[in-house]
A and B are shown apart, each in its own frame.
Chain A
Amino acid sequence: MPSAARLTKVGADRNLHSFRQIFNHFAKPEQRELGMEITGAEIVVKCLQAEGVEYVFGYPGGAVLFIYDELFKQDKIKHVLVRHEQGAAHAADGYSRSSQKTGVCLVTSGPGVTNAVTGIATAYMDSIPMVVLTGQVPTPAIGQDAFQEVDAVGITRPCVKHNFLVKDVKDLAPTIKKAFFLARSGRPGPVLVDIPKDVTTAKCEFLYPDVVPMRSYNPVTKGHPGQVKKAAQLLMEAQRPMIYAGGGVVLADAAAGLVRLAKLVGFPVTNTLMGLGAYPGTDAQFLGMLGMHGTYEANMAMQHCDVLLAVGARFDDRVIGNPAHFGSVPRKIIHVDIDPSSISKRVKVDVPIVGNVADVLDELIRQLEPLVSRIDQKALKSWWAQIELWKARDCLRYDRASPIIKPQFVIEKLYEVTKGDAFVTSDVGQHQMWAAQFYKFAKPRRWINSGGLGTMGFGLPAAMGVQLANPGATVVCVTGEASFMMCTQELSTCRQYRLPIKIVNLNNRYMGMVRQWQQFFHGNRYSESYMDALPDFVKLAEAYGHIGMRIEKPAEVEPALREAFKRTDDLVLLDFLTDQTENVYPMVPGGKGMSEMILAEEL
């Protein structure tokens, strides 16, 4: 298949007729329909087919009816009908996160778009590739306050990587091509294409280009070799080195490179909440997650290291806390990231390397290999000895003898029963932090959570996308009763598509994370954080045609999990009644330094 660039060149110096012949001759059948005019709606579907899209997560409405009509007439793309557009966006997002593919969602104009915005912003904050197609009122009606009109491009501009309003059917195919290209290249992100209804009925020839040249968009890949060399030298001079890896490693599929690098040098590694799974959670060099609820050893090592290698991470406020406190300890920082604007944003760095994390890690390994004999092994040994002392604090300790179910215990058992091999999605709150702390992810793309935006309601719809991207895999949604009720309606979608997700509801009858902050920082005044009048979750699951189980005693936890995971074809909701007073430790209070942790024994 020749590239479109070449074709365009050929086309440019011949007449259009011969260009057509050439294109028709070379192009895959799904990429061309020259000499024949088809509607915009057909073009949308053909573009998605040409992209190899398996699933579209969506919800119909007036502005997208012609597109839905075309979806109806074909069977290559399967449409997944959610119960709320937020669910469509989260499902497409979960599909992307758990695979190397780009999730697609399709919603109607007006309320369809506004409902999807939370999901789009969630994907944006975590740099998740996603293409969002939105219906729009017909072009002549735009700006007339037409029925179900919103300025979709305007509303979503600050929470997408890029967006387009297609005003001419001829621009439709190239725009969709651009959308997919933008979504997954460079620093990935959601891209929205707003399509007015009259554009879906207008006709033109169809040609899906292989590439669309964009002079204004040239993401870098390779890092600057001179900078990589400097980084290698700095690492070899370290007395107390540390590797801090974030979601960028997962997104760049660079986990293998990270492991090779860490093994080559023997340095300690920590992962951010978004990076979990980038480095195997059970490896001896792994210090656990860092940050606001990171382990004591990871936070202390981060604070006290003298050379820090930051890879695909962005020093955000939930990770380093107060940047001034972090900066009060002298250390050299090497920062590898695809996005130059992430570098030196919150923390000044010494060796910035802009590039694709996977490529840069390969180059760094290549340059380090001949140098590793220079590592000061004595210093490294005493650094590890210090880290072992920190580890000995056993900061994740909890009361295992408790007669009430401890949420940490549920996650530990979940890890055991699923042999650490499940895809785990989560909502937002304490349960999210316990899942991150206690489920030891061995592989990337297994831990699916909303780290940047912190969106309650994410877990269940994201799990749907994960299950569809990974048929046959074990998919668990760890949630809290408050979060779960933000997208409960998707239980109906799970029923329709027979998605055998296991829902682990850590039910503490509180918005636990809010309650914890109120306990620590607001004098135990639990303002509006108690969840009164909760539904019976077992009956709720049953009402949607699923299985529900209530677990009230620690001894029942493991048998219940085993029973649930035996049911590989069913969705099972496990409602664990957990300790209402349990808190997440360690905790770095907002605005504090990362070594200023509150530990369990201190309260």
Chain B
Amino acid sequence: MRHIVSILLENESGALSRVSGLFSARGYNIESLTVAPTEDASLSRMTIVTTGSDDVIEQITKQLNKLVDVVKVVDLSEAPHIERELMLIKVRATGKDREEMKRMADIFRGRIIDVTESTYTIELTGSGDKLDAFIEALDRAAILETVRTGASGIARGERVLKV
């Protein structure tokens, strides 16, 4: 099962490698990992998308909690939550495709953030599925480059992950 795990950890050098090292040493999967400091610069917020049986996910949360730099861990998938990912995608936009590309970006609520005579760079946010769908909708040959951040997640409603 796919799980999205949120981690609040000390913004210390090496904290990231403690987490990634834990995953590789114990053979857990990482589908994606994002991390950045929070509004409190001494803390980082990390989102890891992983897969595993319930037993494995239980071990993952316990092992993460055991890391001295980790302040809090939440498995967001246990309750309603929102997931967003950002993609930047550079596409060929020439001739009649140029108009078509703009139309596709609009349909997916993407924004064109850089333009050359022959290319567009489109910014798109949404769930991973939406980003996948956008890629699917384009002609493969038109895609020059994609970069995705991996998912960030937050709980719905009043639940917060804070110290």
* Known contacts A215-B71, A216-B71, A345-B59, A339 near B66 by CB under 8 Å: yes
Cross-chain contact B14 with A153 (CB below 8 angstroms):
yes
Interface centre among B13, B17, B66 (most CB of A within 10 A): B66
Shortest distance between the CB of B69 and any CB in chain A (Å) = 6
Interface pair A216/B10, CB less than 8 Å apart: yes
Binary flags per residue of B56-94, CB closer than 8 Å to A gives 1, else 0: 001100110110111100000000000000000000000
Q: Smallest CB-CB separation from B58: which chain A residue?
A: A344
Q: Which of A203-249 contact B (CB under 8 A)?
A: 214-217
Nearest Cβ distance between residue B37 and chain A, in whole angstroms?
Answer: 15
**Whole-angstrom distance between the alpha carbons of A184 and B25 in the complex?**
24
Q: How far is the CB of A513 from chain B (nearest CB, A)?
A: 27
Using known A-B contacts A153-B14, A157-B21, determine if residue A340 contacts B62 with beta carbons closer than 8 Å.
Answer: yes
B147, CB-defined interface residue at 8 Å: no
Report B1-28 CB contacts with A as 1/0, cut-off 8 Å: 0000000011001100110010001000
> A165 in the interface, Cβ–Cβ < 8 Å?
yes
Which residues of chain B from 69 to 122 have any CB-CB distance to chain A below 8 Å in the complex?
Answer: 69-71
B163 at the A interface (CB under 8 A): yes
CB closest chain-B residue, reference A167:
B13
Which of A153, A154, A340 has the most chain B CB within a 10 Å cutoff?
A: A340
Residues of B contacting A154 in the complex (Cβ-Cβ under 8 angstroms): 17
Provide the bound-state CA to CA distance between A340 and B68, in Å: 14
Chain A residues lying within 8 Å of B14, measured Cβ to Cβ, are 153, 157, 165
Q: Which residue of B lies closest to A160 (CB)?
A: B68
Contact A341 B62 (CB under 8 A): yes
The answer to whether A341 touches B17 (Cβ under 8 A) is: no
Does A216 lie within 8 Å of B62, measured CB to CB?
no
B136 on the A face (CB < 8 A)? no
User: Which residues does chain B contribute within 8 Å of A84, judged by CB atoms?
Assistant: none
Is residue B158 within 8 Å, beta carbon to beta carbon, of the partner chain?
no
Q: Which residues of A contact B129 (CB under 8 A)?
A: none
Taken together as a complex, chains A and B put the C-alpha atoms of A214 and B59 apart, in Å, by 23
Cβ distance B141 to chain A, nearest Cβ, rounded Å: 42
Q: Does A117 contact B (CB under 8 A)?
A: no
A182 within 8 A of B: yes
Report the separation of the CA atoms of residues A161 and B18 in the bound assembly, to the nearest whole angstrom.
Answer: 11
Does A590 lie at the interface of the complex (its beta carbon under 8 Å from any beta carbon of B)? no
Docked-complex contact B63 and A341, CB < 8 angstroms: yes
Q: Closest residue to B68 on the A side, CB-wise? A: A162
Residues of B within 8 A of A345 (CB): 59
Chain B binding site: helix, strand, loop or mixed by DSSP?
Answer: helix
Residue of chain A at shortest CB distance from B62: A341
CB 8 Å contact bits of B139-163 with A (1 = contact, 0 = none): 0000000000000000000000001
Interchain pairs with CB closer than 8 A, number: 36
In angstroms, Cα B15 to Cα A216, docked, is: 12
Task: Report how far A344 CA is from B71 CA in the complex, Å.
Answer: 22
- For B63, the chain A residues whose CB sits under 8 A away are 341
Q: How large is the interface on B (under 10, 10 to 19, 20 to 34, 35 or more residues)?
A: 20 to 34
Question: Across the interface, which residues of B come within 8 angstroms of A216, CB to CB?
Answer: 9-10, 68-71
Q: Does B39 contact A (CB under 8 A)?
A: no
> CB-CB < 8 A to A165: which residues of B?
13-14
A158 contacts the other chain (CB 8 A): yes
Query: Across the interface, do A341 and B59 meet the contact criterion of CB distance under 8 Å?
Result: yes
CA distance in complex: A227, B21 (Å) = 33
Chain A 150-185 against B: per-residue CB contact (8 Å), 1 yes, 0 no? 000110011001100100000000000000001000
> A216-B10, A341-B63 are contacts. A161–B68 as well, Cβ < 8 Å?
yes
Chain A residues with CB under 8 Å of B59's CB are: 341, 345
B68 touches A214 (CB 8 A): yes
Instruction: Please judge, given known A-B contacts A214-B68, A340-B62, whether A158 and B21 are in contact too, CB under 8 Å.
Output: yes
Contacts of B62 in A (CB 8 A): 340-341
Contacts of B71 in A (CB 8 A): 215-216
CA of A345 to CA of B65 in the docked complex: distance in angstroms?
A: 15
CB distance from A560 to the nearest CB of B (A): 47
Is the Cβ of A341 less than 8 Å from the Cβ of B66? Answer: yes
Interface residues of A in 331-345 (CB under 8 A from B): 339-341, 344-345
**A158 to B55, Cβ gap below 8 A?**
no
Tell which of B25, B65, B163 touches A158, judged by Cβ atoms closer than 8 Å: B25
Give the chain A neighbours of B10 by CB distance below 8 A.
216
Given A216-B9, A216-B70, A341-B62, are A157 and B163 neighbors across the interface (CB < 8 Å)?
no
| B-chain residues with CB within 8 Å of residue A161 when the two chains form the complex | 68
A255 to B69, CA, bound (A): 32
A217 contacts across to B, CB distance below 8 A:
68
The 8 Å CB contact of B17, one of A157, A162, A215, is: A157
User: How far apart are the CA atoms of A472 and B163 in the complex, in Å?
Assistant: 50
Quote the shortest CB–CB distance from A603 to chain B (angstroms).
37
Residue on B with the closest CB to A345?
A: B59
Q: How far is the CA of A162 from the CA of B13 in the complex (A)?
A: 13
Q: Could you tell me the distance in whole angstroms from the C-beta of B92 to the nearest C-beta in chain A?
A: 41
Cα separation A177 to B134 with both chains bound (whole Å): 53
A66 to B22, CA, bound (A): 35
A152 CB → nearest B CB, Å: 11
Q: Please judge, given known A-B contacts A214-B68, A215-B163, A216-B71, whether A344 and B21 are in contact too, CB under 8 Å.
A: no
**Shortest Cβ gap from B133 to chain A (Å):** 38
Contacts of A158 in B (CB 8 A): 21, 25
Q: How far is the CB of A532 from chain B (nearest CB, A)?
A: 38
CB closest residue in chain A, given B55:
A344
B9 proximity list for chain A (CB < 8 A):
216
By a CB distance below 8 angstroms, the chain A residues around B65 are 340-341
In the complex, the chain A residue whose C-beta lies closest to that of B9 is: A216
Q: Which residues of A contact B18 (CB under 8 A)?
A: 157
Instruction: Please give the distance in Å from A224's CB to the nearest CB on chain B.
Output: 16
> Chain A's nearest CB lies how many Å from the CB of B72?
8
* B66 & A182 in contact (Cβ 8 Å cutoff): no
Closest CB of chain A to B22's CB: distance in Å? Answer: 8
Determine the residue in chain B with the shortest Cβ distance to A157: B21
A165 to B18, CA, bound (A): 14
Name which of B9, B68, B70, B71 has the most chain A CB atoms within 10 A of its CB: B68
Residues facing B in A342-388 (CB within 8 A) are 344-345
Q: Roughly how many angstroms separate A217 CA and B59 CA in the complex, as a whole number?
A: 18
Nearest CB of chain B from residue A97's CB, rounded to whole Å: 22
Question: Besides the contacts A341-B65, A344-B55, A345-B59, what 17 more A-B pairs have beta carbons closer than 8 Å?
Answer: A153-B14, A154-B17, A157-B14, A157-B17, A157-B18, A161-B68, A162-B69, A165-B14, A215-B71, A216-B9, A216-B68, A216-B70, A217-B68, A340-B62, A340-B65, A341-B62, A341-B63
Q: Give 9 closest A-B pairs by Cβ, nearest first.
A: A341-B62, A162-B68, A216-B71, A340-B62, A158-B25, A217-B68, A341-B63, A341-B66, A157-B21
20 contacts between A and B (CB under 8 A): A154-B17, A157-B14, A157-B17, A157-B18, A158-B21, A158-B25, A162-B69, A165-B13, A214-B68, A215-B163, A216-B9, A216-B69, A216-B70, A340-B62, A340-B66, A341-B59, A341-B62, A341-B63, A344-B55, A345-B59
